[in-house]
Amino acid sequence: MFGKEKYKAINEKLNRRFEEKKVLIAVHRGVWCGNIIENTIEAYDACRAMGADLFECDLSETTDGVLYMFHDGGEWRVLGKDQSILSMSSEEVDSLMCRNGLGEPSGRYLQRFEQLLEHYTNGELFNVDRSWPSLAKLDEIMQKYPHAISQAVIKTPVKEEYLEFFQNCPNKYMYMPIAYNMEEVKKVLSYPDINVVGVEAILSSEDTDLFRDESIAWIHEQGLYYWANVITLGNKPGHRLYAGYEDDVALTKGPEASWGKLIDKGIDILQTDWPYQLNQFRKEKV
């Protein structure tokens, strides 16, 4: 069982999924290509149909306090506008049609976080990313949808202000730190009233202590899962999220060269852009 005994009821759906699948598949912004836009219900439904166990949902807050499912920084690529969504009103956002995979008008628009909470009511699991500037707003919205407390895994960087929020928040959301070293993991665990269920490990090389087998074993001993990002963001500094064990390697050199090695290493969740291929491999491997 992952997570603390006292939060067992909240974490039950996540743990049931682990019992069923052993290794889970998380998907980066859903499956988005063609005329399906990233971070939309259509993209999330697509990845679930391909075997995903949970999907990543990025959040951005507008100037009038509306949370949209969008990763800020992608405005020009997705919306054709050279302006941060964080400086827009919801009225402005609603007026912008998304571009599709060819850069053409898609006929689709960004969706609000509440649309996700209204749509997924049957225990579907999702990971909330990029919400840390808006944790109070996130909590306010989530309280209107009590079913979602056992569906959402919320992650943040390891900063005291975020940890204090989850420590003191009456709603004990499933929480996952974005950790770069073991010191950060241990800092999170020093807060007794955070419902920590796992660790997202970010490492540029195998030299990082989080890559060591004994570190992974220790994290498991604390009752936490271990999450690795195998998505390939590009070749700029900072784009290597898990020491080069990436989707590109799995697709060009064979799944054992990347996904298989991580499963053998004891990784519990792989975040990918290729859920169908990873799911087919998982059926043979696990």
For the chain, give the number of residues: 286
Give the mean pLDDT of 117-146. Answer: 98
pLDDT for the residue numbered 35: 98
- Please work out, in degrees rounded to the nearest 5, the angle formed at the alpha carbon of residue 217 by the alpha carbons of 215 and 223: 110
The string of pLDDT tens digits covering residues 41-67 is 999 999 999 999 999 999 999 999 999
Point out the least confidently predicted range of 35-39, 56-60, 240-244. Answer: 240-244
0.75 exceeded by pTM = yes
Q: At what angle do helices 160-168 and 135-142 cross, to 10 degrees?
A: 20
Q: At what angle do helices 213-221 and 182-189 cross, to 10 degrees?
A: 10
Q: Which domains does the chain have, with CATH numbers?
A: 5-285 (3.20.20.190)
The string of pLDDT tens digits covering residues 77-94 is 999 999 999 999 999 999
DSSP the chain: --S-GGGTTTTHHHHHHHHHHSSEEEETTS---TTPPSSSHHHHHHHHHTT-SEEEEEEEE-TTS-EEE--TT-HHHHHS-SS-GGGS-HHHHHTPEEE-TTSSEEEEE--BHHHHHHH--SS-EEEEES-GGGHHHHHHHHTT-GGGGGTEEEEEES-HHHHHHHHH-SS--EEEEEESSHHHHHHHHT-TTS-B-EEEE-BSSTTSGGGSHHHHHHHHHTT-EEEEE-----SSTT--SBTT--HHHHHHH-GGGTHHHHHHHT--EEEES-HHHHHHHHHHH-
The string of pLDDT tens digits covering residues 155-197 is 999 999 999 999 999 999 999 999 999 999 999 999 999 999 9
Q: What does the H/E/C string look like for 155-179? A: EEECCHHHHHHHHHCCCCCEEEEEE
Distance in angstroms (rounded) separating the CA atoms of residues 198 and 175 = 7
The string of pLDDT tens digits covering residues 4-32 is 999 999 999 999 999 999 999 999 999 99
Share of the chain above pLDDT 90, in %: 97
Which pLDDT band holds residue 121 (cuts at 50, 70, 90)?
very high
Residue in 109, 171, 176 with CA at minimum distance from that of residue 141: 171
Is the pLDDT score of 281 beyond 90?
yes
Distances (CA, A) of 284 to 53, 96, 210, 243: 17, 44, 27, 24
pLDDT for the residue numbered 236: 84
Which pLDDT band holds residue 240 (cuts at 50, 70, 90)?
confident
pLDDT for the residue numbered 54: 98
- 200 or 240, higher pLDDT: 200
Point out the least confidently predicted range of 82-96, 138-152, 231-245. Answer: 231-245
Strand 67-69 and strand 54-61: the pairing is antiparallel
Is the pLDDT score of 219 beyond 90?
yes
pLDDT for the residue numbered 237: 78
Quote the mean pLDDT of the chain.
97
Which pLDDT band holds residue 235 (cuts at 50, 70, 90)?
confident
